Amino acid sequence: MTKDFETFRDPLLSLFQSAAVDVGKKIDQQSASRGGPRSQITSSAKSDLEAIATSIARRERGEEDDATPAARDLSKLGIARACAEWGLRYLKAVALGNQASILALEDEFTAGTCDPAWLGTLREYRSYFDASGKRKPIPYIRPAQIGAQVIEIKADASIGLLADWGTGARPAVEVLKALASDQADVLVHLGDIYYSGTPSECAQNFLQLVNLVLRQAAAMPVFTLSGNHDMYCGGVGFYDLIKQLNPSPFTQPASFFCLRSADENWQLLAMDTGLHDDNPSGIADALTYLEDDELEWHCDRIREFPGRTILLSHHPLFSAFSAIGAPGADGKRTAVNRKLLTAFERLSAEKAIAAWFWGHEHNLAIYNPFAGLARGRCVGHGAVPVSVLDQIYEPVGDLGDTPTIIPGTELGKGPGVYNHGYAMLAFRGKACRAEYFEVAGGKKNLIFGEDFE
């Protein structure tokens, strides 16, 4: 699999990856300011430490053997790895609220050979935790704080949809350039700015790229949902980002929102499923859900609206390709997140839901009708590399009832990884056209198109 970018559904390890990249950037900046040459073995401290952090994270997850050398390696890369191992121990001590261990590790650092950027950066990361080691509360904005606010978009708007896109890496740039060629009126990202949604990642992996690629010629409203990775640092980067994305009247009011066409034919209800996915075991145990008052807020938006509704979220209502929840007494798993199903039943009881788009899984899955939903669409193929050796279209084997996808809608394969891409929605009066693209070799390819009313 490509080593350009690899991520893990684990809050602590994701924070560790974020910290390692930040340290690498600071070392590179210091080297550049001094005019000193970097090692000829590797391109930068950032790329060195990103690869080292990925290797250590894989080991922590049991995905590769312990690569720590038996004897001390005094090469530049050996020292870099030793410093990264120290950094992980430091973050673990912070997460446990173990002040004695933190002080001991700081003493160890002072007597060692690691770059000062390590200690300075990790002390900054301590601000994400309280004294007991718990991450500080996410600054979730409650529905009562925003009232019945909706954001009006023009009639017959074209909407670009991306998910799991915020890597800042080359594939993310290529996909955004392809989407820009479609001249969308609005962009909605369905969540996950990697590795852990820190303020610097939200700025560099999201806002700067959006401004550079999409907003050179004209302003475009851009919105983003909360994914699990956005919450791993406590949501501080995400909530600061949404304040900066758009001027009034397009300012995103909260982690959930409603976009409504001026002719009142269509609305997009964007739901916050990232708030309650903070489980290092990943989606198999993370039965995320909506806050009760947020669910009622979405129901109100459907009740008052005469047109059709499309739902957006980071997490799936159901999946054929990732396990959701623990097996039942019969040993079978359900393909459906029952907590989100309860929310969907409430919402669809008001009026029929035209479609639901989500991300989280790093693939494209255009499902046949399932669990009462006419159109469930996973568009999580935004930018995270997935090895062609992974059987991403092989259904989970122990499902009691397995959703199926429309034949011929699978992603193509590039050199080593599946292709990335996005979706486009075009509102035309009471009709909606949805198209699903992949990007390969700088060119976009239409995989599937559909019309619904």
What does the pLDDT look like over 29-77, one tens digit per residue? 988 877 655 433 346 899 999 999 999 999 998 887 655 544 456 688 8
68 within a domain of the structure (yes/no): yes
Q: Does 385 lie in the same domain as 258?
A: yes
Question: Does residue 4 fall inside a structural domain?
Answer: no
- Confidence (pLDDT) at 65: 60
Q: What is the DSSP letter of 7?
A: -
Instruction: Confirm whether 3 is domain-assigned.
Output: no
Residues 88 and 226 in one domain: no
Angle between helices 11-34 and 45-60 (to 10 degrees): 160
CA atoms within 13 A on the CB side of 327: 9
Same domain, 295 and 407: yes
DSSP-derived pairing of the beta strands 158-162 and 420-428 = antiparallel
In the listed set 128, 153, 180, which residue is the last one of a domain according to the structure?
A: 128
In a domain, residue 6? The reply is no
Q: Are residues 293 and 236 in the same domain?
A: yes
pLDDT tens digits, 130-156: 999 998 999 999 999 999 999 999 999
348, part of any domain: yes
- Residue 103, domain extent: 11-128
Percent of the chain exceeding pLDDT 90 equals 81
Of 105, 128, 151, the residue that ends a domain is: 128
Residue 375 CA to residue 344 CA, distance in Å, equals 13
Q: What is the pLDDT of residues 238-262, one digit of tens each?
A: 999 999 999 999 999 999 999 999 9
The total domain count for the chain is 2
Asked if residue 425 lies in contact with residue 419, where contact means CB atoms within 8 angstroms, the answer is: no
pLDDT at 39: 39
Same domain, 309 and 447: yes
CA distance 190 to 206: 12
Tell me what pLDDT residue 206 has: 98
In a domain, 135, yes or no: no
Q: Which long-range contacts (CB under 8 A, 24 or more apart) does 244-248 make?
A: 244/207, 245/207, 245/210, 245/221, 246/221, 246/222, 247/219
pLDDT at residue 74, rounded to an integer: 63
Predicted TM-score (pTM) of the model is: 0.94
| Ranges of the chain with pLDDT below 70 | 1-4, 35-43, 65-74, 278-286
What pLDDT score was predicted for residue 326?
A: 79
Q: Would you say residue 343 lies in a domain?
A: yes
360/212 same-domain check: yes
Is there a single domain that holds both residue 186 and residue 220?
Answer: yes
CATH number (domain holding residue 445): 3.60.21.10
pLDDT of residue 63: 82
Q: Is 445 left (phi over 0), alpha (psi -120 to 50) or beta?
A: beta
Number of H-type helices and E-type strands within the chain? 12, 13
